[in-house]
Chain A
């Protein structure tokens, strides 16, 4: 990965459970973004959190950011089978806002 690691690499849960994915990065950032990707398809933007924010919510998504630990987490509550996808975090670095660097992704499987 160009930026860091996502943890876990794969996650399998039952529909209705919560899913938590973590992302670590290496450099100081301007913002961190989470994306979702269905197999072989385009990346869909989920949520952006800026470096001066600690938590953000969007529907069933909750994102936290800890700049001291250089880490972020994405929580999907009450998961659905349709949430099955790969989830990536991407960081925009402080020295350049014009380069989004992706982590290695978490493959989420939500079993019906």
Chain B
């Protein structure tokens, strides 16, 4: 069965650069979530979308933005990267109120 696909799997960027992370949800899932997980930390909710509209916002820095496109894939754009942005970034998708399926994550390293 198709799962949530994230790309790239690994990304190395320098401070102050920009990064774009992509997420392709499971077909027919209309809800997408983004999470950030630092080393040894629990996943922190960043933002979610339902039917291509932003539905909830968590602890997402102003330097980050996200959107969901007409084909339901989502992108997380991160600008002016800081060392502290180094983390695993997960995308998940679900039907509303149902279990969420997570991708394998993008490991972002800012140097």
Interface membership of A59, Cβ < 8 A: no
Interface membership of B86, Cβ < 8 A: no
Interface membership of A101, Cβ < 8 A: yes
Query: Do A30 and B97 contact each other (CB < 8 Å), given the known contacts A44-B102, A98-B55?
Result: yes
A30 to B58, alpha carbons, bound, how many Å?
A: 18
Q: Which of B17-25, B38-46, B71-79 interfaces with chain A?
A: B38-46
Instruction: Name the interface residues of B30-87: CB closer than 8 Å to any CB of A.
Output: 31, 33, 35, 42-45, 48-50, 55-56, 58-59
Min C-beta distance of B78 to chain A, whole Å = 20
A88 to B104, alpha carbons, bound, how many Å?
A: 16
Min C-beta distance of B21 to chain A, whole Å = 14
Min C-beta distance of B74 to chain A, whole Å = 13
Total contacting residues, chain B, CB less than 8 A = 28
- Which secondary structure dominates where chain B touches chain A? strand
Min C-beta distance of B9 to chain A, whole Å = 11
Interface membership of B100, Cβ < 8 A: yes
Is there an interface contact between A103 and B42, defined as CB atoms closer than 8 Å? yes
Give the one of A1, A92, A103 with max B CB within 10 A. A92
- 10 closest pairs, A vs B, by CB? A99-B56, A98-B55, A97-B97, A43-B102, A42-B104, A98-B48, A48-B99, A102-B43, A102-B42, A104-B42
Could you list some 10 contacts between A and B, CB below 8 A? A42-B104, A45-B101, A48-B98, A98-B33, A98-B49, A98-B50, A98-B55, A99-B55, A99-B58, A102-B35
